[in-house]
Amino acid sequence: MAASIRSLDGAMLSIRLLRGAQLHHERALSTSLHRLAFTPPVKPVIVDKTQTVASLRKFLSPEFIPPRQRTNPVKFFIERKDMIRRRKVLNIPEFYVGSILAVTMTDPHAPGKNNRFVGICTKRGGKGLGATFVLRNIIEGQGVEICYEMYSPRIQQIVVLKLEKRLDDNLMYLRDALPEYSTVDLNMQPQLPDATGEVKVRMLPKPWSKRWERPTFDIKGIRFDLCLTPEQMEHAQKWAKPWVEYDMLKEYDTSKLGEDIYAEVQKGAEAK
């Protein structure tokens, strides 16, 4: 009888130990699940594949940067407000000197009261509302240049047919280059942008409208080796000013100013 009682007590003890281990395991499992439930998930990275690379790249049109020796910053601040309002009505795309554009503007003397001109951008100038750009094309063997006011109310549409950036910021030397470098088809369709833009033109025989070989113009897009002798190139170096590169008074760092103006333009563009 006593032996049966001892065996019964041992069995009950074993059941208690197993039950305790089971409860401990269930408690640990519930605690781990409880902790996992409150662990914040990793924030997903959402990529908008509908946007192009150009839309993701920061680009501030150069006319927004005021000149260095500005006498009245408030004037440029007010002009930027008007420029932003104008851009809400007219889409002014990103383009550089060397890009091919098609501009449509009102013309009371043209059939349909509209005039469309296609050409290569040879120059951008002016600041604020006075910003301008020049388009050049060869039509019937004659060079034609039109200077547009970028924020003129007469402009109805600006389309970039080919986005390209040349080696120089001024292509007015195309007047003295071969006509093939200025000829653009008037019925040209939009093309993919040119990533290189390292085009060097061949010039017509002298005389030229300016002495482009002199270091004053700092031209990189002309094949001088095909039109000038080494003696002429050496003679042109007489007008070099190597000390200008080290003149700190001519430095104008617009990185911080450009960031502030870019944020201002973006905020104004998003506002209704």
List CB contacts of 223: < 8 A, sequence separation 6 or more: 200, 201, 202, 203
Contact 207, 177 (CB under 8 A): no
pLDDT confidence band for 78 (50 / 70 / 90):
very high
What is the spatial distance between Cα 190 and Cα 95, in angstroms, rounded to a whole number?
13
Which tens digit of pLDDT belongs to each residue from 102-150?
999 998 888 888 999 999 999 999 999 999 999 999 999 999 999 999 9
Specify burial of residue 251 (Cβ count, 10 A radius: 0-12, 13-18, 19+). exposed
Task: Say whether pTM exceeds 0.85.
Answer: no
Q: Which two tokens stand for residue 252?
A: 């104008």
Segment among 23-32, 141-150, 210-219, 237-246 with least mean pLDDT: 23-32
List CB contacts of 94: < 8 A, sequence separation 6 or more: 54, 59, 61, 160, 163
